[in-house]
Amino acid sequence: MIYYYCKKINRRFIIQFKKAFLRLYVLGYLYRQDSYGYDLVNEVSRNSLVPEGNIYPLLRQLRNEGFVSTYLKESPEGPPRRYYRITDSGRNEKENLQKQWFSFTKKFNKLLLNGEKNE
């Protein structure tokens, strides 16, 4: 019973961790350049362990929260593409998430690298 509960908590933690990572990753990518959805899917799938099916729901959420805006741009290979651009509030969100990420990883790395052995 306890093992099941711990496993369930661990699974939730991993899911939330991946969501936070993906949110920061996408905002960071859009901070550098505007991009269309399929390009973002390819970028994320090349560089992370997060399933690509999470990208479009995240982009919709970021747009609803006002962190990204969209515009259509003609494509030489078919219909116009919907491009995503980070907004000022999106830049602020990226900066806040980045500070939290660095703080978390610094503490986590310190724990892993400097922690005492349990003997």
| CATH for 61 | 1.10.10.10
> Which domain covers residue 56, as residue numbers?
24-88
Does 87 or 12 have the greater pLDDT score?
A: 87
Q: What is the pTM of this model?
A: 0.81
Inform me whether the pLDDT recorded for 41 exceeds 60: yes
Does residue 101 form part of some domain? no
What is the rounded average pLDDT of the residues 41-51?
79
Alpha-carbon distance of 59 to 26, in angstroms, equals: 8
Give the separation between CA 11 and CA 17, rounded to whole angstroms: 10
Query: What is the pLDDT of the chain when averaged over all its residues?
Result: 85
Q: What region, left, alpha or beta, does residue 74 occupy, with left being phi > 0 and alpha being psi -120 to 50 degrees?
A: beta
Q: Is the dihedral of CA 34, 51, 53, 46 positive or negative?
A: positive
Mean pLDDT of all residues in 80-91: 97
Total count of domains within the chain: 1
Q: Distance between the two ends of the chain, CA-based, in angstroms?
A: 27
- Is 39 inside a domain boundary? yes
Q: Choose the weakest-confidence range: 13-22, 56-65, 87-96.
A: 13-22
**Predicted local distance difference test score (pLDDT) of residue 53:** 80
Is residue 108 domain-resident? no
Structure tokens at 24: 């920061």
Average pLDDT over residues 35-64: 87
Q: In the predicted model, what is the mean pLDDT of residues 42-59?
A: 82
Helices (H), the chain: 2-32, 37-47, 55-64, 88-114
In a domain, 60, yes or no: yes
Q: How confident is the model at residue 7 (pLDDT cuts 50, 70, 90)?
A: low
- Exposed/middle/buried for residue 18 (C-beta within 10 Å: 0-12, 13-18, 19+): middle
Q: Is the Cβ–Cβ distance between 87 and 34 less than 8 Å? A: no
Q: Among 4-18, 38-52, 80-94, where is mean pLDDT lowest?
A: 4-18
CA distance 29 to 39: 11
